[in-house]
Every structure is written in structure tokens, then in C-alpha cells.
A = this chain, B = another copy of it.
Amino acid sequence: MKFEVTILGSSSATPIFNRNPTAQVVNVNDKLYLIDCAEGTQQQMLRFDIKASRIDHIFISHLHGDHYLGLVGLLSSMHLNGRKKVMKIFGPAPLKEIIEIQLKYSETTLNYPLEYIFTNAAQKELIFENQDMCVESIPLDHRISCTGFLIKQKKRLRKLIKERIEELQIPVPYYSAIKKGHDYTSADGTVYKNDTLTTSPADPKSYAYVSDTKYNESYFKQIGKASLLYHEATFMHDMLDRANQTHHTTALQAANVALATGADKLVIGHFSARYKTLIELLEEAQSIFPKTELAIEGRTFVISE
């Protein structure tokens, strides 16, 4: 099942030329989920050919402008482009007030409904679930209420061994039960154990999105062992004091989170505008966690195919 993340923005608070602030699109089984929506996100979607009409769920980590200022523009463009489907918005409660006041003064009545699901930065919560995956909000340690998001694939059905099924001439109506792990009893009473008829599906994968936060072990257990960990890395470690003061993370600390939680792979982003090149940040993280990559705009990270 397709599970991948495309980076739309990788800059922290202020944009720099060719680096937009934070936004990402997660594709799970060909459904698109937008995570954070900084100023310029709709322009980035045009640039990377991501169809806004395919997005039905938007997750906002917190209310610093570099994570949500593109939202009203995106919602307005969807309206002008004829959207009718409900849009679900997950984020801090005041987001509703911020959106509504702007719709009010522009005298805009969207021709599609918005449904708000407010996040709680005090505890981990299951905020969304469908047949493919579930999303949990993860409390982070930032200057204002902020959550990360943990997206976990659902455990998939077992896979039928086609040759064996055909050989035994098992009728189709039994397939569903066998995929769920049941044994099969044939007409003559012979019992065929499930593990002779099926193979295990791939382990469910997970994507942990750790937005703005100070390095704090409190969230390590909550994100668990991620197949892909995105972690902010605003500064190099020589600016640790500044990172602590502004409740951000250094590249070395981000790598430490990956190491401590057993992530398969790390992507770092949210780079301070002071870094004109990013190789130093990458090398610092790779010095202790080699499987690190940079969140470069337009780059897609495949978690499962």
C-alpha cells in the first residue's frame, strides 16, 4: 500500500529564497493528507503538481504563522475551484476563529462544509481513523500549544497463496475468512492450517511528524519506533542555547531522537534562514544517525509502496 511523504516547505519562521515554510503532503493508499500549511503552500502544490481537490483532511500542528498562514488562501481557492466535499481540519481550537473571521470580512460563504476536530496538546489522542490508517496527535514541548502527528498504517489482511488455494479448489466465499487468519475445513473434513494457505502481510508502517519542539524525552515513547521520523532541526548544535530558548531542536538532537526511538529513517527540516546551505545540518545529524536525509522541497520519501 502506497505510503509516502512529499515535502512542500522546509524553512522555519521566515522563508528564504527557494525555501518555503512548513507544509507536507502524505499519500496513504492514494488519498492525500496535508500536514501544516504555511504561507505559499498552494503555490507549492501548483509547483509540484499536487491536486488540492484530492485533499480532504488537513492537520495543523500549532498556531505559529509559519505552520498555518497558507490555510485561508488554500480554502478560498478550493471554494473558487468548485469544491463541494467536506474538508476536515484538525488543529488547535482557535484556528476556527481565525478562519471564520477572515471568511466573515471577505463576505465569503464557502460552498463546501468545514469540519473542525480540535487537537489537545496535553495528551496523546487518536484523532482520525479510516480503513487504511489512523492518526494520533502527540504533545510536543514548544512555546505555544503544539502537537506532532503519528500516522500508522492499519494491520493488513494475510495474503492468499494463490497456487495452494487453486490446488485445493477453495470456494471464493471462504477467501475473506482465510485472509483474516482462519483455518479452512474442506468438504471431506480435512483441516488446512491458515499458515499453509497464506503468508503474512508486511508489517504496518508508521510516519511520525515531529513539528516544532524542544528536545524532550516525554514524546519519545509516544512516537515509538517510526518507519520514517520527520523531526525539526532548526539549528546546528553549536546554537543549543538558542534552540532551548526558542523551544526548538538542533540537528544533533533530532538524530538522537531517531536513535533513541529506533526509527528506521530520519528526515530533518524546519531549517533556520541563517543556513544558506544545508549540508552542515545533514552531516551533523548523520554523524550519529547515518540514515538521515534533508527535507528538500519537492522531494518524496517512500515509506511503503
Contact = CB atoms under 8 A, between A and B. Distances in A.
Interface string A1-34: 0000000000001111100100000000000000
B42 A80 contact: no
A65 interface: yes
A212 to B, nearest CB: 11
Contacts of A70: 39
B94 A105 contact: yes
Contacts of A107: 143-144
A290 B77 CA distance: 33
B106 A97 contact: no
B46 A17 contact: yes
27 contacts: A13-B77, A14-B42, A14-B76, A14-B77, A14-B80, A14-B81, A15-B43, A15-B46, A17-B43, A17-B46, A17-B47, A39-B40, A39-B42, A39-B43, A39-B70, A43-B43, A63-B102, A65-B72, A66-B73, A69-B69, A69-B73, A69-B102, A94-B101, A97-B101, A97-B105, A105-B144, A107-B143
Given A66-B76, A97-B105, A105-B144, 16 more contacts: A14-B42, A14-B80, A15-B77, A17-B47, A20-B43, A39-B40, A39-B43, A39-B73, A63-B102, A64-B106, A69-B69, A69-B73, A69-B102, A98-B102, A98-B105, A106-B144
